[in-house]
Structures are given as structure tokens and as C-alpha cells.
């Protein structure tokens, strides 16, 4: 469908279009449509723009990713549909693999997501391997790649589900989440939560990573040390109440 740029809800409609196309292409699951709807509702409540607190989270996320020994970017069907190019760019910038991880088991969909990311320039896309899993998780999302999440110290998990975020933390990983819902279990379990739409947060995270690459390690450590996720979430909730 052609959406006129002048439409007041142009960006929101474009995102719907990407997610719907993702389903058509077999990248996104039908349940992903519902998850996107929940995201839209929260985006509406935060005014559909990146807040100052979200920018602070993005700074801290970039610092944490640059300090990581083995960063990995976890990708589900919604993230792949919405920001494939940005995921590929961040992966190259950090020299971090992208690892496909989906809730509803489907080898076909995993392979489609991998091919889709590669079409957008991704060079290192890993798939889960049933011989390896994280502890404290029952769903299909427990399976991991031995060269990816298994070894990772920091995992970037945009659009996560709460169970897996909690399990990754219990497995000793630091995690960075992008979640529009500051009340979500994911948001509350993450080391750093970016309360923003993934489509706005990804370009800003790429910019921040490029900028922070020039910083000394000590400066990056101080950015991470001065960040408080609980305070960030409280502030995000306050902003919704103020509207
Ligand atoms: P949890 O298990 O963490 O409490 P949940 O059950 O709400 O959360 P899901 O339904 O698995 O989680 O995933 C949807 C989550 O992703 C929601 O919290 C929603 O706000 C968020 N979300 C959806 N689309 C976007 C988007 N484009 N950008 C950022 N966040 C999004």
C-alpha cells in the first residue's frame, strides 16, 4: 500500500506496513502483530518521540556494547522486519554476530530471517543450535549458538520477552533491551533499557556507538557506572503520567 508522506500518522503506518510485510514474507509471526500493537499503544503514550532519558539509555547501551568482550545482537521476527539494515550496520560496527532467536519454533522462519538480514548487508548471522541452551528457560528461545549467545558477556535483545530477559541475566549475561513499555518484565530485568521505538532507537544507537568508539575505556566505564536502570524506568513512567 502506498502511504502518502503527508499523512499525520505516516511513520506509524509505515511501521505497520513493514510488520505486515514481514508476516507475508514469513519473517514475522502473526503473534508479532499483536506485540507490535502493544508497542504502538505505549509509543502513543510517550508522544512518539525519543525522550531525554531514552537518549541517556542509548549512551549507556553504546558504552556497554563497546566495553563488552563478546557482544551479540539477538534478532526476532519483529526486529528483522523493522530495522534489518540498522541491525546489519550495528553488527559490523561492533564486530558482533547477529543471532536469530524466535519464540514460535520454525526452522523455515529462522532461515528466512537470516536470508533477509543478509540481503540488508549482514555478514555474520548465527542460528540457534539445539545442542546448546541457556538455563532457566523452557521455551524455544532457550536454544543458542555456541559461537554467539553461549559465549557472550553482553547481549543486545531488542523487543525481548520477559522470561528470556530474566533467564539471560540468571545465566550471567548483561542485557540491553529496547522496549516501549517501561512496566514490562523485560524492561525491569535488563541491565540497560531503552524505552523507545526500535525504529528511532537503532539509528541513534549507531550514532552513539560511532561517537563512543573514540572514547577511552575509562570514560566508557564511567558512563556505564553513572547509569541507573531503575531510575530510568521511573522517569519513563513519570513522563507518561505527565501527558
Ligand atoms: P514482558 O514479558 O517483558 O512483560 P510482554 O509480554 O509485553 O512483556 P511481548 O508481548 O513478548 O512482551 O513483546 C512485546 C513487547 O515489545 C511489548 O512490551 C512492547 O511494548 C514492545 N514493543 C513492540 N513493538 C516495539 C517497537 N517497535 N519498539 C520498541 N518496543 C516494542
126: three-class secondary structure by DSSP: strand
Q: How far is residue 236's CA from residue 167's CA, in Å, rounded to a whole number?
A: 24
Atom of ligand 1 nearest to the CA of 15: 27
pLDDT of residue 242: 82
Tell me which of 139, 141, 181 to substitute to probe ligand 1's pocket, judged by most ligand atoms within 8 Å of the beta carbon.
181
Residue 135 CA to ligand 1 center (angstroms) comes to 22
Residue 224 CA to ligand 1 center (angstroms) comes to 24
pTM of the model: 0.96
DSSP assignment of 127-160: --EEEEE-SS--SGGGEE-TTTTTT-SEEEEES-
pLDDT of residue 34: 96
State which fold the 52-242 domain adopts.
Rossmann fold (3.40.50)
pLDDT of residue 184: 94
Which grid cell is 68? 563488552
Helices 10-24 and 30-45, axial angle in degrees (round to 10): 170
Which grid cell is 214? 573514540
* Structural domain boundaries in the chain: 52-242
Count of CB atoms situated within 10 Å of the CB of 186? 23
In 166-206, DSSP assigns E strands to 174-178, 192-194
Average pLDDT by consecutive 10-residue portion of the chain (243 residues)? 82 95 97 96 94 97 98 98 98 98 93 98 98 95 97 95 92 97 95 98 98 97 98 95 81
Question: In DSSP terms, which residues pair with 193 in a beta bridge?
Answer: 177
Tell me which of 15, 35, 158, 188 to substitute to probe ligand 1's pocket, judged by most ligand atoms within 8 Å of the beta carbon.
35
pLDDT of residue 196: 98
- Ligand 1 surroundings by CB, under 6 angstroms: 35-36, 38-39, 42, 82, 159, 161-162, 178-181, 184-186, 197-198
Amino acid at each position: 500500500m502506498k502511504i502518502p508522506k503527508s499523512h499525520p500518522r505516516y511513520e506509524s503506518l509505515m511501521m505497520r506496513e513493514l510488520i505486515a510485510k514481514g508476516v507475508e514474507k514469513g519473517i514475522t509471526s502473526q503473534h508479532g502483530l499483536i506485540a507490535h500493537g502493544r508497542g504502538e499503544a505505549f509509543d502513543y503514550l510517550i508522544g512518539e518521540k525519543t525522550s531525554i532519558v531514552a537518549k541517556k539509555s542509548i549512551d549507556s547501551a553504546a558504552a556497554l556494547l563497546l566495553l563488552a568482550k563478546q557482544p551479540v545482537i539477538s534478532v526476532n521476527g519483529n526486529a528483522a522486519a523493522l530495522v534489518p539494515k540498522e541491525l546489519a550496520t550495528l553488527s559490523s560496527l561492533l564486530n558482533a554476530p547477529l543471532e536469530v532467536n524466535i519464540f514460535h519454533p520454525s526452522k523455515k522462519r529462522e532461515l528466512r530471517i537470516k536470508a533477509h538480514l543478509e540481503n540488508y548487508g549482514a555478514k555474520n548471522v548465527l542460528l540457534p543450535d539445539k545442542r546448546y541452551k541457556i538455563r532457566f528457560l523452557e521455551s524455544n528461545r532457550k536454544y543458542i549458538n555456541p559461537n554467539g549467545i553461549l559465549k557472550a558477556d553482553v547481549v543486545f535483545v531488542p523487543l525481548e520477552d520477559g522470561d528470556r530477559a530474566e533467564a539471560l541475566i540468571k545465566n550471567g549475561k548483561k542485557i540491553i533491551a529496547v522496549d516501549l513499555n517501561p512496566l514490562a518484565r523485560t524492561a525491569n530485568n535488563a541491565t540497560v533499557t531503552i524505552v523507545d521505538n526500535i525504529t528511532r532507537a537503532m539509528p541513534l544507537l549507531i550514532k552513539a556507538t560511532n561517537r563512543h568508539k573514540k572514547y577511552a575505556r575509562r570514560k566508557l566505564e564511567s558512563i556505564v557506572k553513572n547509569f541507573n536502570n531503575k531510575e530510568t524506568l521511573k522517569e519513563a513512567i513519570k513522563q507518561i503520567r505527565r501527558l
